[in-house]
Amino acid sequence: MTEPLRGHLLVAAPSLFDYFRRSVVLVIEHSDDGAMGVVLNRASETPVAEAVPTLAPLADRDEPVYVGGPVAPEAVVALGDFDDPEEAATPLIGSLGVLDPDHLEPELRHLRVYAGYAGWSSGQLDEEVEQGAWIVEEATPADPFSGGDLWSAVLERKGGSFALLATMPADPSLN
Torsion of CA 92, 8, 26, 133, to 10 degrees: -160
Write the pLDDT tens digit of every residue in 4-25.
999 999 999 998 888 999 999 9
Q: How many CA atoms lie within 13 A of 165 on its CB side?
A: 19
pTM greater than 0.85 (yes/no): yes
CATH number of 8-174: 3.40.1740.10
Sequence-distant (≥ 6) Cβ neighbours of residue 162 within 8 angstroms: 135, 155, 156
Write the pLDDT tens digit of every residue in 62-101.
899 999 999 999 999 999 999 999 999 999 999 999 999 8
- Residue 174 has a pLDDT of 63
